[in-house]
Structure 1
Protein backbone atom coordinates (compact mmCIF):
# COMPACT_ATOMS: atom_id res chain seq x y z
CA UNK A 1 0.00 0.00 0.00
CA UNK A 2 1.06 3.53 -0.66
CA UNK A 3 0.46 6.28 1.90
CA UNK A 4 1.10 10.00 2.07
CA UNK A 5 3.61 10.97 4.75
CA UNK A 6 2.47 14.17 6.48
CA UNK A 7 5.56 14.57 8.66
CA UNK A 8 8.89 13.99 6.91
CA UNK A 9 10.54 13.85 10.36
CA UNK A 10 8.35 10.93 11.51
CA UNK A 11 11.22 8.51 12.04
CA UNK A 12 13.19 10.76 14.41
CA UNK A 13 9.97 11.64 16.25
CA UNK A 14 8.96 8.01 16.74
CA UNK A 15 12.44 6.85 17.74
CA UNK A 16 12.63 9.62 20.35
CA UNK A 17 9.16 8.74 21.65
CA UNK A 18 10.01 5.04 21.76
CA UNK A 19 13.15 5.74 23.80
CA UNK A 20 11.07 7.47 26.49
CA UNK A 21 8.16 4.99 26.65
CA UNK A 22 8.18 3.33 30.05
CA UNK A 23 6.38 0.17 28.97
CA UNK A 24 8.79 -0.57 26.16
CA UNK A 25 11.75 0.15 28.44
CA UNK A 26 10.35 -2.17 31.13
CA UNK A 27 9.84 -4.96 28.59
CA UNK A 28 13.25 -4.31 26.94
CA UNK A 29 11.59 -4.16 23.52
CA UNK A 30 13.47 -2.83 20.51
CA UNK A 31 12.21 -0.66 17.67
CA UNK A 32 13.62 -2.27 14.55
CA UNK A 33 12.06 -0.75 11.44
CA UNK A 34 9.85 2.13 10.38
CA UNK A 35 8.40 2.85 6.95
CA UNK A 36 5.28 4.77 5.88
CA UNK A 37 2.37 2.84 7.40
CA UNK A 38 4.61 0.14 8.90
CA UNK A 39 6.59 -0.58 12.05
CA UNK A 40 8.45 -3.59 13.49
CA UNK A 41 9.34 -4.27 17.11
CA UNK A 42 11.12 -7.19 18.69
CA UNK A 43 11.25 -8.59 22.19
CA UNK A 44 13.68 -11.27 23.39
CA UNK A 45 12.13 -13.99 25.54
CA UNK A 46 12.90 -14.11 29.24
CA UNK A 47 11.21 -15.85 32.14
CA UNK A 48 9.65 -12.66 33.52
CA UNK A 49 7.49 -12.36 30.37
CA UNK A 50 6.18 -15.93 30.46
CA UNK A 51 2.96 -17.58 31.49
CA UNK A 52 2.64 -20.82 33.49
CA UNK A 53 3.72 -23.12 30.64
CA UNK A 54 6.79 -21.10 29.74
CA UNK A 55 5.42 -19.34 26.64
CA UNK A 56 5.21 -15.57 26.17
CA UNK A 57 2.20 -14.34 28.14
CA UNK A 58 -0.74 -13.28 25.96
CA UNK A 59 -0.89 -9.90 27.69
CA UNK A 60 2.71 -9.20 26.67
CA UNK A 61 1.96 -10.19 23.07
CA UNK A 62 -1.11 -7.94 23.10
CA UNK A 63 0.94 -5.03 24.43
CA UNK A 64 3.53 -5.46 21.70
CA UNK A 65 0.93 -5.71 18.92
CA UNK A 66 -1.03 -2.69 20.19
CA UNK A 67 2.18 -0.68 20.43
CA UNK A 68 3.39 -1.59 16.95
CA UNK A 69 0.01 -0.58 15.50
CA UNK A 70 0.38 2.78 17.23
CA UNK A 71 3.83 3.35 15.77
CA UNK A 72 2.73 2.25 12.28
CA UNK A 73 -0.09 4.80 12.54
CA UNK A 74 2.24 7.55 13.77
CA UNK A 75 4.35 7.24 10.62
CA UNK A 76 1.41 8.81 8.75
CA UNK A 77 0.39 11.52 11.24
CA UNK A 78 1.10 15.22 11.19
CA UNK A 79 3.77 16.41 13.64
CA UNK A 80 1.12 17.81 16.00
CA UNK A 81 -0.94 14.59 16.10
CA UNK A 82 -0.81 11.61 18.42
CA UNK A 83 -2.67 8.33 18.17
CA UNK A 84 -4.70 6.52 20.79
CA UNK A 85 -6.11 3.02 20.62
CA UNK A 86 -9.89 2.89 20.23
CA UNK A 87 -10.23 -0.91 20.18
CA UNK A 88 -8.46 -4.08 19.23
CA UNK A 89 -9.07 -7.76 18.81
CA UNK A 90 -6.36 -10.38 19.02
CA UNK A 91 -6.49 -13.95 17.79
CA UNK A 92 -3.90 -16.21 19.39
CA UNK A 93 -3.00 -18.85 16.82
CA UNK A 94 -0.29 -20.94 18.49
CA UNK A 95 1.73 -21.06 21.71
CA UNK A 96 4.36 -18.32 21.67
CA UNK A 97 7.41 -20.51 22.21
CA UNK A 98 10.76 -19.32 20.93
CA UNK A 99 13.65 -16.97 21.46
CA UNK A 100 12.27 -13.73 20.02
CA UNK A 101 8.84 -12.18 19.52
CA UNK A 102 8.59 -10.08 16.36
CA UNK A 103 5.69 -7.61 16.23
CA UNK A 104 4.96 -6.35 12.71
CA UNK A 105 2.36 -3.61 12.32
CA UNK A 106 0.86 -2.11 9.19
CA UNK A 107 -1.83 0.41 8.43
CA UNK A 108 -4.67 -1.02 6.37
CA UNK A 109 -6.79 2.14 6.12
CA UNK A 110 -5.66 5.65 6.94
CA UNK A 111 -8.56 8.03 7.49
CA UNK A 112 -8.46 11.59 8.72
CA UNK A 113 -9.18 10.57 12.31
CA UNK A 114 -9.59 6.77 12.29
CA UNK A 115 -6.79 4.41 11.30
CA UNK A 116 -7.27 0.65 10.95
CA UNK A 117 -4.19 -1.52 11.46
CA UNK A 118 -3.19 -5.15 11.52
CA UNK A 119 -0.28 -6.60 13.44
CA UNK A 120 1.28 -10.04 13.44
CA UNK A 121 3.06 -11.63 16.37
CA UNK A 122 5.72 -13.97 15.04
CA UNK A 123 8.02 -16.16 17.09
CA UNK A 124 11.55 -16.72 15.89
CA UNK A 125 13.28 -19.87 17.10
CA UNK A 126 16.87 -21.02 17.45
CA UNK A 127 17.04 -22.23 13.84
CA UNK A 128 15.85 -18.89 12.50
CA UNK A 129 12.44 -20.19 11.45
CA UNK A 130 9.36 -18.05 12.03
CA UNK A 131 5.92 -19.04 13.30
CA UNK A 132 2.82 -16.83 13.32
CA UNK A 133 1.39 -16.95 16.86
CA UNK A 134 -1.04 -14.00 16.98
CA UNK A 135 -2.82 -11.49 14.77
CA UNK A 136 -4.39 -8.23 15.92
CA UNK A 137 -6.80 -5.90 14.19
CA UNK A 138 -6.76 -2.47 15.82
CA UNK A 139 -8.55 0.82 15.40
CA UNK A 140 -6.53 3.89 16.27
CA UNK A 141 -7.68 7.51 16.54
CA UNK A 142 -5.65 10.57 15.59
CA UNK A 143 -5.84 13.26 18.29
CA UNK A 144 -4.20 16.57 18.99
CA UNK A 145 -2.91 16.73 22.53
CA UNK A 146 -3.16 19.99 24.42
CA UNK A 147 -0.08 21.07 26.42
CA UNK A 148 -1.66 19.84 29.67
CA UNK A 149 -2.71 16.45 28.22
CA UNK A 150 -5.81 15.39 26.37
Structure 2
Protein backbone atom coordinates (compact mmCIF):
# COMPACT_ATOMS: atom_id res chain seq x y z
CA UNK A 1 0.00 0.00 0.00
CA UNK A 2 2.66 2.50 1.05
CA UNK A 3 6.16 1.89 -0.27
CA UNK A 4 8.57 2.16 2.63
CA UNK A 5 12.00 1.22 3.79
CA UNK A 6 11.19 1.21 7.50
CA UNK A 7 13.58 -0.63 9.77
CA UNK A 8 11.97 -2.29 12.80
CA UNK A 9 13.47 -1.53 16.22
CA UNK A 10 12.65 -5.07 17.34
CA UNK A 11 14.17 -7.82 15.17
CA UNK A 12 11.50 -10.18 16.55
CA UNK A 13 8.64 -7.81 15.62
CA UNK A 14 6.74 -10.36 13.55
CA UNK A 15 6.44 -13.01 16.27
CA UNK A 16 5.60 -10.31 18.86
CA UNK A 17 2.87 -8.78 16.68
CA UNK A 18 1.41 -12.18 15.78
CA UNK A 19 1.37 -13.26 19.46
CA UNK A 20 -0.40 -10.04 20.42
CA UNK A 21 -2.96 -10.50 17.64
CA UNK A 22 -3.59 -14.06 18.85
CA UNK A 23 -4.60 -12.61 22.26
CA UNK A 24 -7.30 -10.44 20.64
CA UNK A 25 -10.46 -12.38 21.39
CA UNK A 26 -12.48 -9.74 19.50
CA UNK A 27 -10.70 -10.66 16.26
CA UNK A 28 -11.14 -14.37 17.04
CA UNK A 29 -14.87 -13.82 17.52
CA UNK A 30 -15.07 -12.12 14.12
CA UNK A 31 -13.02 -14.86 12.43
CA UNK A 32 -10.20 -12.50 11.42
CA UNK A 33 -6.67 -13.77 10.84
CA UNK A 34 -3.36 -11.99 10.36
CA UNK A 35 -1.87 -13.17 7.08
CA UNK A 36 1.07 -10.78 6.70
CA UNK A 37 3.24 -8.67 9.00
CA UNK A 38 6.11 -6.66 7.52
CA UNK A 39 7.90 -3.58 8.81
CA UNK A 40 5.24 -0.85 8.72
CA UNK A 41 2.51 -2.96 7.06
CA UNK A 42 0.05 -5.61 8.24
CA UNK A 43 -2.70 -7.50 6.42
CA UNK A 44 -5.66 -9.09 8.18
CA UNK A 45 -8.24 -11.21 6.38
CA UNK A 46 -11.87 -11.67 7.32
CA UNK A 47 -14.17 -14.27 5.76
CA UNK A 48 -17.79 -13.35 5.13
CA UNK A 49 -19.98 -14.76 7.91
CA UNK A 50 -23.61 -14.09 8.77
CA UNK A 51 -22.77 -13.04 12.35
CA UNK A 52 -20.79 -9.98 11.13
CA UNK A 53 -23.39 -8.63 8.70
CA UNK A 54 -25.97 -5.90 8.88
CA UNK A 55 -29.60 -6.14 7.72
CA UNK A 56 -28.74 -6.15 3.98
CA UNK A 57 -26.20 -8.97 4.24
CA UNK A 58 -23.12 -6.72 3.90
CA UNK A 59 -20.36 -6.85 6.51
CA UNK A 60 -21.33 -4.22 9.07
CA UNK A 61 -19.37 -0.96 8.89
CA UNK A 62 -18.46 -1.27 12.56
CA UNK A 63 -16.84 -4.62 11.87
CA UNK A 64 -14.93 -3.22 8.87
CA UNK A 65 -13.75 -0.36 11.10
CA UNK A 66 -12.73 -2.68 13.93
CA UNK A 67 -10.62 -4.92 11.69
CA UNK A 68 -9.07 -1.93 9.90
CA UNK A 69 -8.24 -0.44 13.32
CA UNK A 70 -6.40 -3.64 14.24
CA UNK A 71 -4.52 -3.68 10.93
CA UNK A 72 -3.45 -0.06 11.44
CA UNK A 73 -2.48 -0.60 15.09
CA UNK A 74 -0.40 -3.66 14.33
CA UNK A 75 1.27 -1.91 11.39
CA UNK A 76 2.42 0.78 13.84
CA UNK A 77 3.43 -1.90 16.35
CA UNK A 78 5.82 -3.53 13.86
CA UNK A 79 8.04 -0.46 14.15
CA UNK A 80 7.96 -0.15 17.95
CA UNK A 81 10.45 -1.44 20.51
CA UNK A 82 9.60 -4.83 22.02
CA UNK A 83 8.51 -3.34 25.35
CA UNK A 84 6.02 -0.83 23.90
CA UNK A 85 2.32 -1.33 23.22
CA UNK A 86 0.18 0.64 20.76
CA UNK A 87 -3.25 2.17 21.28
CA UNK A 88 -5.49 3.98 18.81
CA UNK A 89 -6.10 7.59 19.75
CA UNK A 90 -8.08 8.63 16.67
CA UNK A 91 -9.38 7.26 13.40
CA UNK A 92 -11.68 8.20 10.57
CA UNK A 93 -13.30 5.72 8.19
CA UNK A 94 -14.64 6.44 4.71
CA UNK A 95 -17.01 3.79 3.39
CA UNK A 96 -16.73 3.69 -0.40
CA UNK A 97 -18.95 0.73 -1.27
CA UNK A 98 -20.97 -1.97 0.50
CA UNK A 99 -18.74 -4.62 2.06
CA UNK A 100 -20.02 -7.45 -0.13
CA UNK A 101 -17.83 -10.46 -0.88
CA UNK A 102 -16.70 -13.91 0.11
CA UNK A 103 -13.76 -12.50 2.08
CA UNK A 104 -12.09 -9.22 2.88
CA UNK A 105 -8.54 -8.05 3.27
CA UNK A 106 -7.69 -5.16 5.53
CA UNK A 107 -4.27 -3.58 5.07
CA UNK A 108 -2.71 -1.12 7.51
CA UNK A 109 0.37 0.81 6.41
CA UNK A 110 2.43 3.32 8.37
CA UNK A 111 2.71 6.71 6.71
CA UNK A 112 4.84 8.40 9.39
CA UNK A 113 6.28 6.45 12.33
CA UNK A 114 7.19 8.20 15.55
CA UNK A 115 8.49 7.41 19.01
CA UNK A 116 5.15 8.39 20.53
CA UNK A 117 2.68 9.07 17.71
CA UNK A 118 2.41 7.25 14.38
CA UNK A 119 0.14 8.07 11.43
CA UNK A 120 -1.26 5.06 9.61
CA UNK A 121 -3.56 4.46 6.64
CA UNK A 122 -5.84 1.50 6.17
CA UNK A 123 -7.67 0.04 3.21
CA UNK A 124 -10.39 -2.60 3.17
CA UNK A 125 -10.90 -4.68 0.04
CA UNK A 126 -13.79 -7.03 -0.73
CA UNK A 127 -12.92 -10.13 -2.72
CA UNK A 128 -16.02 -11.21 -4.61
CA UNK A 129 -16.13 -13.77 -7.42
CA UNK A 130 -12.44 -13.32 -8.21
CA UNK A 131 -12.56 -9.52 -8.22
CA UNK A 132 -11.16 -7.18 -5.62
CA UNK A 133 -12.87 -3.90 -4.77
CA UNK A 134 -11.82 -1.12 -2.38
CA UNK A 135 -14.72 -0.70 0.07
CA UNK A 136 -13.29 1.50 2.85
CA UNK A 137 -10.31 3.61 3.81
CA UNK A 138 -9.06 4.64 7.25
CA UNK A 139 -6.80 7.39 8.53
CA UNK A 140 -5.55 6.56 12.01
CA UNK A 141 -3.31 7.95 14.71
CA UNK A 142 -1.62 5.48 17.05
CA UNK A 143 0.13 6.17 20.34
CA UNK A 144 3.04 4.19 21.76
CA UNK A 145 2.51 3.22 25.39
CA UNK A 146 5.24 1.84 27.61
CA UNK A 147 5.74 1.18 31.30
CA UNK A 148 2.14 0.20 32.07
CA UNK A 149 1.20 -3.18 33.51
CA UNK A 150 -2.23 -3.09 31.83
CA UNK A 151 -0.80 -2.60 28.31
CA UNK A 152 0.73 -5.83 27.04
CA UNK A 153 3.14 -5.80 24.13
Alignment-derived partner of residue 6 in structure 2: 3
Superposition map of 1:60-139 within 5 A: 60-126=63-129, 128-139=130-141
Give 3-state SS (helix, strand or coil) of 1:52's partner: coil
What is the RMSD computed on CA atoms of the aligned residues? Answer: 0.9
Give 3-state SS (helix, strand or coil) of 1:61's partner: helix
Task: List per-residue Cα deviations over 1:39-88 (Å, max 9, x = no partner).
Answer: 00000001111011110000000001000001101100000101000100
Normalising by structure 2, report the TM-score. Answer: 0.94
Structure 1: unaligned runs, 5 residues or longer: none
Normalising by structure 1, report the TM-score. Answer: 0.96
Distance (whole Å) between structure 2 residues aligned to residue 17 and residue 95 of structure 1: 30
Structure 2: unaligned runs, 5 residues or longer: none
Distance (whole Å) between structure 2 residues aligned to residue 145 and residue 121 of structure 1: 33
Name segments (4+ residues, structure 1) moved above 6 Å: none
